[in-house]
Amino acid sequence: MDNTKIPIEDIKNSKKKINRIEPPHWWVGFKNTKLQLLVHHENIGAAEVSIDYEGVIVTEVHQAKSPNYLFIDLEISSSTKAGEFDIQFKLKNGKKLKHKYELKPREKSSEDYVGFNSSDVMYLITPDRFANANPENDSVEGLLETTVDRSNDYGRHGGDIQGITNHLDYIDDMGFTAIWSCPLLTNDMPKSSYHGYAITDYYQIDPRFGTNEDYRVLSNEASKRGIKIVMDQVANHCGLEHWWMKDLPFGDWVNYQKHYEENIDKWDYDIVKTSNHKRTSNQDIYASELDKKGMADGWFVSSMPDLNQRNPFMAKYLIQNSIWWIEEYNLGGIRQDTYPYPDKDFMSDWAGAIMNEYPNFNIVGEEWSYNPLLIAYWQQGNKNKDGYNSNLRSTMDFAMQRQIISALNEEESWDKGLVKMYEGLANDFIYPAPKDILVFPDNHDMSRIHTQLNGNIPNTKMALGYILAMPRTVQLYYGTEILMADFEKPGDHGLIRSDFPGGWNGDTVNAFTGEGLSEDQKGMQNYLKTLLNYRKNSKAIHEGKTIHFAPKDGVYVLFRKYEEEVVGVVINKTEKTSLDTDRFNEMNLNGKSLKDLVTGNQSNWGSSIQINAKGITFFTTKY
């Protein structure tokens, strides 16, 4: 493979202007006054660089292995004024080029970037499948995948950013306080590009989703409603068609790069060095170097090159990219994909750099593990035996998700059923901050909750109500509110990510308006709307003390308490309609007025209380 070749369109552009400088602009007033620019242009590597702007100093210029790159280190003093300046390039052949670069003023202070927390419930959206507001961007000429086919579960369906923006009132009315969208950056891949996890340009919104300006509008409109935007980012890998894969700057820009270059003409699943997926090697004190390298360096799949974050230029590139998106679009959080797969020391540096710049921000890392010990390892402040500190405030609670499913699907016995839920929550002693862990009933990579619970609506309501009352931050997947399921092919990703009804012209069912929904679907929608809107203002749920009582005779009871507000959740797998209260005397509820949020009934706490048979009772003393 000839790494000195660059795309023909880039060569044409090179006669007019610098092909690419990233980040495309920056800001004054950061705590970290250093900035590194990646410059990509034909034969730019030998150029001399100069900048004449007060407060901006070129401290070092780095050449790469490819002659088409330069990396420029800048020092931006704390007194530098916002403005534009020219970066001057004097090429080896004597020609001169210049690029106008902008340092913008910051719109708000670092402390004002407040990330998601335990007061929030995120609405997870697969954007291609939520709503198509602009059919004109469904197919974009020049991209590798241009077909739109709603009958193909793995093809593009046309959903876009404007579709989310147009339905912010629905999301707000339901009671969600944050939106996590699967990645929106360009995925110029030949197939299955809809999911967004094979990024081919880290600074561009995929034109089939809209423009960078559309993303700004979404962020601004969401902010007006008090809704935070959480960006799904991928530091572990990029897409095989990323522009730099045609002209890699260094010999170690991606892992197993030599193997890739030697086999580029026959690249397929048979020869790719994929990850061994042994995620425990990050914590295992006995892990072999072979297994640790196989985990961190292997490609996720053959179409997703594994980025080498040990390369210092790659590391700076990824850190600056995350900060750029936070600052440019007023983000309220980052969800980092495949968190245990990149170099773990880099991930600590990455999260640390962001949290140092934005102390009230938040990041959640995807650790798909059912072992709370592994989940806790990644949370900031955990006393890890190897001394590792992730700087990561939140990680994902796959362990509790599994326990909830088991608890509700199993028949009751001493070691099965609701005791799984009870003991799962009892594992919270391992977490430095349980309320910062992100819990969820399902997501875009697993069967929907209604499928996992075998279509049992009362059990689905019990799972969702319990999750919304737990000491956690919460994420719900779009369509959960209308019982979307994947019964035909459980676990099939294309089916899990089905279109949200009403998001396309001609849909006979519209979940945004309720038109065509079944009574069960409307019931679930109203149920969640009630609980979500109560949860918005419940200090007991956001930060209250948690007290739960071991399951007894098919009934499990959990309380959350903050000052005079008490929230109670009764999970009842029996036909009982009343519950003796002697066991709960320590809650000091005798004579207190209660409201059942599910039924709306009001009562007083006495020697017994009314509960819903084979279902959930969700009550509060504050209403």
Beta strand 69-76 pairing with 363-365: unpaired
363 contacts 351 by C-beta, under 8 angstroms: yes
What H or E segment, with its residue span, contains residue 617?
Answer: strand 615-620
Could you list the active site residues? 337, 366
Report d(CA 342, CA 336) in Å as an integer.
Answer: 11
Under a CB-based contact definition with an 8 Å cutoff, are residues 614 and 608 in contact? no
CA pseudo-torsion sign 202, 203, 208, 210: positive
Separation of alpha carbons 612 and 619, rounded Å = 11
With CA atoms as reference, report the closest residue to 591 among 601, 581, 576: 581
Alpha-helix residue ranges (DSSP H) falling in 251-360: 257-262, 289-297, 312-329, 344-357
Compute the distance between CA of residue 99 and CA of residue 202 in angstroms, rounded to an integer: 20
596 contacts: CB under 8 Å, gap ≥ 6: 602, 603, 610, 612, 617, 618, 619
Computed on alpha carbons and rounded to an integer, the radius of gyration of the chain in Å comes to: 26
**Contacts of 22-26 spanning 24+ positions with Cβ under 8 A:** 22/202, 22/203, 22/317, 22/321, 23/203, 23/320, 23/321, 23/324, 24/203, 25/101, 25/102, 25/103, 25/104, 26/76, 26/101, 26/102, 26/103, 26/104, 26/324
- With residue 425 as reference, give the H or E element that holds it: helix 418-426
Contact 239, 200 (CB under 8 A): yes
Scanning the structure block, which residue is given the tokens 């190897």?
Answer: 386
Specify whether the CB–CB gap between 118 and 472 falls below 8 A: yes
Q: How far apart are CA 191 and CA 196, in angstroms?
A: 11
| Longest Cα separation, the chain | 92
